[in-house]
């Protein structure tokens, strides 16, 4: 029997779909079978006929679940979906394991093998083609700049007209990861005067290569693998104070600092919001139920302050560009599934440096050490190391000598 990948329709507030017809066609040509729930791709403008033409079978939800070797989802599926799944089936998607450990426990109890993109070790080069967080952040940063231009009450570029000259908008992007760099590049192409801020001094070259001015504070937050580290409370206060000066000089502020599974850092304090001039626009890409980068931001809402500034909770930007976002998400899913396929079967090497961390659960056990730490479980050691730890010194010497 071939590996069967099933794709389900997402919740009503999600426009993306886990597999695009283009990627389905490639999977089918590689001898995978694909089942797609009816209308699963309609909100991303992928009609059922496109999936059928790509070689998939369009079925009802129950058939898609029952027939799946692995279910591909954008977001955490509903409890009703999990209830219909069986022991030994697999699930891949953005499953929010670090913030919803009860969901993880339910998957483990049912012995469902769950791969969660939030757990992917992003500093491992082999994992780059699997990195959903990066691919979706790229979409979000681009869309955030477009949204900013649409919401802003003035022109983005300098405009010279018979009635006079309009000055270009000043745009400040806080955080220069994947989303931030896309926002900087897009805002620059729209003609704004753009600055990029980051606590990592090494980001200067990337920001300036996009034609923007690089800003930083006296607080350096460079961390492992080029990512930003968590700041101490004292460093955070100093950073916020110095940032306030930059914020006051700009018309549009796009914030992009997200920490998967944790509350995002507050970059724009209530004081900065209160002192913002009328018409100032804040686009908060980190806005979620966990909080946001801008004080007072609310997910999927636009808040107008007493002083006439606007705060847009823009945590769903990838969903607002669903066709492109879905196609990139699908390629990440394809990369993972291809990586764990051997001789026509899914093989989960729990000691592999990528798969072992990507796996939230396997055969009823919590696998990822990052997740185990969040759940206050002891570190899981590779099988070989665990065996060495149980050996006596004499046994270890005999093994080293090859003695039976």
- For the chain, domains (ranges, CATH) are 4-119+322-387 (3.40.50.720), 138-320 (3.40.50.720)
Confidence of residue 95 (pLDDT cuts 50, 70, 90): very high
Whether 16 is catalytic is no
Average pLDDT of span 60-70: 98
Whether 131 is catalytic is yes
From 126, 227, 373, 399, the catalytic residue: 227
Cβ atoms within 10 Å, residue 58: 20
From 131, 284, 327, 339, the catalytic residue: 131
Cβ atoms within 10 Å, residue 75: 16
From 122, 200, 370, 380, the catalytic residue: 122
Whether 128 is catalytic is yes
pLDDT at 230 over 90: no
Model's pTM, two decimal places?
Answer: 0.90
Measure the CA–CA gap between 196 and 171, rounded to whole angstroms.
9
Check residue 279 and give left, alpha or beta (phi > 0: left; psi -120 to 50: alpha). Answer: left
Structure tokens that stand for 119 in this block: 């757990």
From 47, 61, 84, 134, the catalytic residue: 134
Within 117-271, strands assigned E span 159-161, 164-166, 170-174, 193-197, 213-215, 252-255
From 61, 128, 220, 238, the catalytic residue: 128
Q: What are phi and psi of 340, to 5 degrees?
A: -100, 10
Query: Where are the alpha helices (H) located in 90-177, listed in sequence order?
Result: 101-109, 132-151
Tens-place pLDDT, residues 175-193: 999 999 999 999 999 999 9
Q: Is the model more confident about 243 or about 218?
A: 243
Of 69, 131, 81, the closest CA to residue 107 belongs to 81
| Residue 70: partners with Cβ closer than 8 Å, 6 or more residues away | 3, 4, 5, 6, 89, 90, 91, 92, 337, 346
Q: Are the C-beta atoms of residues 206 and 197 closer than 8 Å to each other?
A: no
């Amino acid at each position: 029997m071939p590996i069967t990948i099933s794709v389900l329709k997402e919740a009503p507030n999600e426009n993306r779909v886990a597999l695009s017809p283009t990627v389905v066609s490639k999977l089918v040509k590689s001898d995978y079978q694909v089942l797609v729930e009816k209308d699963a791709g309609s909100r991303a403008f992928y009609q059922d006929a496109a999936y059928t033409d790509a070689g998939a079978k369009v079925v009802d939800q129950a058939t898609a679940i029952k027939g799946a070797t692995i279910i591909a989802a954008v977001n955490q599926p509903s409890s009703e979906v999990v209830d219909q799944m069986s022991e030994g089936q697999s699930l891949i998607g953005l499953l929010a394991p670090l913030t919803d450990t009860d969901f993880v426990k339910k998957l483990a109890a049912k012995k469902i093998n769950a791969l969660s993109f939030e757990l992917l070790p992003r500093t491992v080069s082999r994992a780059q083609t699997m990195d959903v967080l990066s691919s979706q952040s790229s979409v979000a940063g681009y869309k955030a700049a477009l949204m900013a231009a649409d919401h802003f009450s003035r022109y983005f570029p300098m405009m010279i007209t018979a009635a006079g000259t309009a000055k270009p908008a000043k745009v400040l992007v806080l955080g220069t990861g994947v989303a931030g760099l896309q926002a900087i590049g897009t805002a620059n192409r729209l003609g704004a005067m753009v600055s990029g801020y980051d606590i990592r001094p090494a980001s200067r070259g990337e920001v300036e290569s996009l034609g923007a001015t690089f800003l930083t504070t006296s607080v350096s937050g460079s961390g492992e693998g080029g990512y930003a580290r968590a700041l101490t409370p004292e460093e955070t206060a100093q950073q916020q104070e110095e940032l306030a000066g930059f914020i006051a000089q700009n018309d549009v502020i796009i914030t992009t600092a997200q920490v998967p599974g944790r509350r995002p850092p507050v970059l724009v304090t209530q004081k900065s919001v209160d002192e913002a001039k009328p018409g100032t626009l804040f686009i908060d890409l980190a806005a979620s139920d966990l909080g946001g980068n801008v004080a007072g931001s609310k997910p999927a809402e636009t808040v107008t302050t007493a002083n006439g500034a606007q705060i847009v909770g823009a945590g769903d930007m990838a969903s607002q560009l669903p066709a492109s976002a879905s196609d990139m998400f699908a390629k990440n899913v394809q990369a993972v599934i291809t990586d764990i396929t051997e001789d026509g079967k899914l093989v989960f090497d729990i000691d592999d440096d990528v798969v072992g961390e990507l796996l939230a659960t396997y055969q009823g056990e919590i696998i990822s050490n990052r997740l185990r730490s969040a759940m206050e479980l002891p570190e899981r050691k590779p099988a070989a190391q665990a065996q060495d730890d149980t050996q006596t010194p004499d046994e270890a010497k005999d093994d080293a000598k090859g003695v039976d």
